[in-house]
Structure 1
Amino acid sequence: MFRRELAYFFGALRFFTRLPVPAWVGHSSEALDRSTRYFPAVGLLVGAIAALVFVLTSCVLPMTLAVLAAMASSLYLTGAFHEDGWSDMVDGFGGGWEKAQILAIMKDSRIGSFGAIALVMLLLARFCALIEFEWQEIPLALLAGHTLSRFAATTLLRGLDYVRDEGKAKPLATRIGWGELGIAGLTALLPLLLLPPLEALLGGVFAALATLWLARLFRRQIGGYTGDCLGATQQCSELAFYCGLLCSFS
């Protein structure tokens, strides 16, 4: 059983990052569907690496450059997988008027003006938010932000339907069970315990509000979610989490 669960975790790691996984880990749509419980765990690992990069680079570089290095490390680790989803989602919802048109625009590999502007603004906002923290707060914020935002995206797998006949998130289209969602939620809770309770609460509330707003938008406009919608939810909820923390720190 432990080996099976470990394979599910490595399956999620392979799908969402560029990190190597053991050769014995197989690949199947069923296994990937089972791996949804470990999406926040992948975020925990990505956040831990980004936090470590920040701590190490801040020893020799100004804090602003250390934050940029931490952001760049997470972008490299994930191949900008979620950022791509964010820009595609904004392109689709910004340029489309009906479901078929929105889905067609999101599927186009080319980035449009809406997506390009949204991506630049998102990265800039994330950088501006992170540099507002004190040095010792940044590693904890990165750890919790990456983990909680993956859980936020995972909740869409429970609450919404997948709307494409095929696509990069098609293997994840089966609705996640309450037990699996509970495991994901407990993982997301762990780094929050490292933060003061009020800060953790406000950050979580902001992330939840961003997720609920996007879920409502997705349901109203296209009747559910796509892989790009999951990526956009992760990105938006991560930024919202940082904003919530800043409200409590100010």
Structure 2
Amino acid sequence: MNPIQEWRLFLCALQFLTRLPTPRLDGFQSDWIGRSARYFPLVGQVVGLISALVWLGASRVWGGGPVAALLAVGAGVLATGGFHEDGLADTADGLGGGQTPAARLLIMKDSRVGTYGVLALGLVGALRVAALAGASPVRGALALLAAHGAARAAAVVAMALMPYAGDASTAKAEASPQSASPANAAIAVGLGLWPFALLDWRNGALGLAFGAVAALAVMILARRLIGGRTGDVLGAVEQVFEAAVMLGATVMFA
């Protein structure tokens, strides 16, 4: 394993998933995006760390609660440019509005957001904010770090488990053989799970269980209605997994 090349792949993942400034990638090759999928959880943890720092800072000013939670969640959205939120909205519109697999895929490619998309964004976003608003500063910060990393790992696992539903020739990372490899998925899971060691084991277990159920529900629905995954479906998997982990990781045990 070439450390320099692996660093380039991490930077490639950072460029692909976020709007954060990164060094220029000299000698870029198109297969780097697929190969970089194993580092998606690390990128998620960078985004989670940004959100956690905003949460901790805002909690000192507003004492936690909804204002600090909104600012923290908003910081994550700004860091990614709403990359995964866009996938969630498109998936909800397509799966909810189309009558055939072809019609659903066509709706998912439409840049306009419909009723199902707005509702999905509102409900999932509200769950993330509400879960964080009720947490202590430290618990909330750790939950953000764990949720963002694990949610990106869940998307990589979905790549490996699901066939591609659209035209693979027009896809980017989500249809490449490298991104869908079991090896990439295994590495992603390992990188995505380490922050759970910082949580109370009950919160960690509950968060992962909630996340797995939520992600599996999206995957099963997409498999049944469009025949597999697209990039939008992976965004939806990330979003529901992230929200579900936040719900479990912030539960207060007596």
Task: Tell me the TM-score normalized by structure 2.
Answer: 0.93
Please give the residue correspondences for 1:228-243 in structure 2 after superposition, counting only pairs within 5 Å.
228-243=232-247
* CA–CA separation in structure 1 for the residues paired with 2:173 and 2:90: 20
Which ranges of structure 1 fall in alignment gaps of 5 or more residues? none
Q: 1:201 matched to which residue of 2?
A: 205
Are 2:12 and 1:11 aligned? yes
* CA–CA separation in structure 2 for the residues paired with 1:246 and 1:22: 36
Task: Tell me the TM-score normalized by structure 1.
Answer: 0.94
CA contact (8 A) 1:10 1:25 kept: no
Once the two structures are superposed, residues 37-89 of structure 1 have per-residue CA deviations (whole angstroms, 9 ceiling, x without a partner) of 00101001100111011112222234122211111110100000111111111
Q: Which deviates further from its counterpart, 19-28 or 160-169?
A: 160-169
Letter in 1 for 2:131: A
Please give the residue correspondences for 1:83-232 in structure 2 after superposition, counting only pairs within 5 Å.
83-165=85-167, 169-175=171-177, 176-232=180-236
Which ranges of structure 2 fall in alignment gaps of 5 or more residues? none
- Quickly say closer, same or farther: Cα 1:107–1:208, change in 2 above 3 A: same
* CA–CA separation in structure 1 for the residues paired with 2:251 and 2:61: 30
Q: Which deviates further from its counterpart, 162-171 or 25-34?
A: 162-171
CA contact (8 A) 1:149 1:234 kept: yes
Q: 2:71 matched to which residue of 1?
A: 69
Q: 1:43 matched to which residue of 2?
A: 44
CA contact (8 A) 1:7 1:25 kept: no
Identical-pair percentage: 41
Runs of 4+ in 1 over 6 A off after TM superposition: none
Q: How many residue pairs end up in the alignment?
A: 250
* CA–CA separation in structure 1 for the residues paired with 2:149 and 2:170: 21
- Quickly say closer, same or farther: Cα 1:95–1:28, change in 2 above 3 A: same
What RMSD in Å do the two structures reach over aligned CA positions? Answer: 1.7
* CA–CA separation in structure 1 for the residues paired with 2:240 and 2:96: 16
Letter in 1 for 2:15: R
Cα offset for 1:167?
A: 7.9
Letter in 2 for 1:174: S
* CA–CA separation in structure 2 for the residues paired with 1:137 and 1:198: 13
CA contact (8 A) 1:167 1:227 kept: no
- Quickly say closer, same or farther: Cα 1:197–1:14, change in 2 above 3 A: same
Cα offset for 1:104?
A: 0.6
* Partner SS state of residue 58, structure 1: helix
